[in-house]
Structure 1
């Protein structure tokens, strides 16, 4: 979540050193969010498939 919230929040407050919110930054943030959601879901599915 931090990788998603921090860039968007920093850009929206126009903090120095961050620069304006560009399309590339927004796209990377969305990809990072979906990766953070997807990895646990995929791991859960794999682990359920492993039979003892």
Structure 2
């Protein structure tokens, strides 16, 4: 029974560590890039009509 308790404890701690890492990634994720790289140019032929602009 002692071995079963140790295995259960290891599984519980591993699950808790995985949950903690997931929560850390969710809440400490930085903002996404706001602008495309400067090497990209905007092609006006591919832009939506101005009536779509919000």
Query: TM (normalized to structure 1)?
Result: 0.48
Relative contact order higher in (CA < 8 Å, ≥ 6 apart): 1
Structure with the larger helix share? 1
